[in-house]
Amino acid sequence: MSDVTRAEICATAIADTFAGDGEIFASPMGLMPTLGVRLAKLTSNPDLAISDGESLFLAGVPPLGSGREVVEGWIPFRRVFDVVANGPRHVMMGATQIDRHGNQNISAIGDFARPSRQLLGSRGAPGNTVNNRTSYWVPKHSPRVFVEAVDVVTGVGPRRAREAGVAATRFHDLGRIVTNLGVFDVRGPDDTVRLLSTHPGVSVADVQQASGFEVYVGAEVPNTREPSAGELMLIREMLDPRGLRYREVPKPEEQ
C-alpha cells in the first residue's frame, strides 16, 4: 500500500457514493461525510448543492472547520422538510446499529420501554429513508454496530419498507454503507447487506469477524479504489489541511 491513509480511502469512497446523483441536495451528517461530499463536488459531481449543515447553502467548498463559507442561499430547518418531502436529496447519516437487512438504529440500546442506553432518538431517520436516498457512514466497524437485528428501527431497510406498503417504498432508496473496513450495499439475497469492496489491507475474513451476522460476499471482492493524485491534493491541501479526518479514522500508528 502507498502512503495513502485509510481515512483518505474512506473519504474517496464516500465521494463515490454521491458521484452519480446529479443536481440534488447533498446532506452529509458528520465530519467524514462532509469531507466526502465536498470532494465529490470538486471532482465527480459539481452539480451537487451543499450546505453548512445548519441553515445556509454554500457557493464554495471550504476546508473543514475553517468558518470561511461563501453563502449562496438560506435554508432554515423548516425548509429542509420541504426538500425531504420533495425528494431530490441524498443524506448520509451515522448508525449506532445496522442489521442484516439494512435497518438502522440511532435511538436506543436495549428494550425500547426501558433502554439500557438512550441515544439521539429517531430524529429524521424514518423520513429520510422513506423519502430520500440514504447512505450510512460507520467509522468503527464492529459486531456491536453490525448486528443481527437492531434494537430499535429508526432508518428503514428495503425489506421492512416493502412490508409497510407503497407509502414507504415509493421513494425508498438505500445507497451505500461505508465503514473503516469496506463498502457495502443492501442488495444481497433477500435484501441483505452485501460486501462490495474491502479497503486495502483489509480481508473478507476481517470484515466477517467484525460483523455480528454473515455478510453476503459475491464471487469477487475488489479493493476499494485509492484516491488519485488530484483527489489526494484536494483532501490534504484544500479540504482538510488540518487533518481532522484522523479523528474518525486514525493513522495506524495512532490507533
Is the pLDDT reported for residue 252 higher than 80?
Answer: no
pLDDT band of residue 231 (cuts 50, 70, 90) is very high
Give the chain's mean pLDDT: 90
pLDDT of residue 1: 44
pLDDT band of residue 183 (cuts 50, 70, 90) is very high
pLDDT of residue 253: 67
φ, ψ of residue 176 to 5 degrees: the values are -120, 155
Is the pLDDT reported for residue 229 higher than 50?
Answer: yes
pLDDT of residue 51: 84
pLDDT band of residue 112 (cuts 50, 70, 90) is confident
Cα-trace Rg, the chain: 18
Is the pLDDT reported for residue 254 higher than 70?
Answer: no
φ, ψ of residue 205 to 5 degrees: the values are -60, -35
pLDDT of residue 170: 83
pLDDT band of residue 102 (cuts 50, 70, 90) is very high
Strand order from edge to edge, sheet including 194-198: 25-28, 89-93, 133-138, 173-179, 182-185, 194-198, 216-217
pLDDT band of residue 182 (cuts 50, 70, 90) is very high
pLDDT of residue 53: 72
Reading the block at residue 196, the C-alpha cell is 462490495
Q: What is the pLDDT of residues 186-208, one digit of tens each?
A: 999 999 999 999 999 999 999 99
Give domain limits for the chain. Answer: 6-249
pLDDT of residue 100: 97
Is the pLDDT reported for residue 13 higher than 60?
Answer: yes
Beta carbons of 63 and 40 less than 8 angstroms apart: no
pLDDT of residue 75: 77
How far is the C-alpha of 131 from the C-alpha of 93, rounded, in Å? 14
Which residues, 6+ apart, have CB-to-CB distance to 203 below 8 Å?
A: none
Q: What is the pLDDT of residues 28-83, one digit of tens each?
A: 999 999 999 999 999 999 999 998 777 778 888 888 887 777 777 877 777 777 77
Reading the block at residue 129, the C-alpha cell is 429513508
Q: Can you identify the CATH homologous superfamily of domain 6-249? A: Glutaconate Coenzyme A-transferase (3.40.1080.10)
What's the average model confidence in pLDDT over 18-37? 94
3-state per-residue secondary structure call for 7-45: HHHHHHHHHHHCCCCCCCEEEECCHHHHHHHHHHHHCCC
How far is the C-alpha of 153 from the C-alpha of 193, rounded, in Å? 16
3-state per-residue secondary structure call for the chain: CCCCCHHHHHHHHHHHHCCCCCCCEEEECCHHHHHHHHHHHHCCCCCCEEECCCCEEECCCCCCCCCCCCEEEECCHHHHHHHHHHCCEEEEECCCEEECCCCEECCEECCCCCCCEECCCCCCHHHHHHHCEEEEEECCCCCCCEECCCCCCCECCHHHHHHHCHHHHCCCEEEEEEECCEEEECCCCCCCCEEEEECCCCCHHHHHHCCCCCCEECCCCCECCCCCHHHHHHHHHHHCCCCHHHHCCCCHHHC
What's the average model confidence in pLDDT over 86-91? 84
The winner for highest mean pLDDT among 27-31, 126-130, 234-238 is 234-238
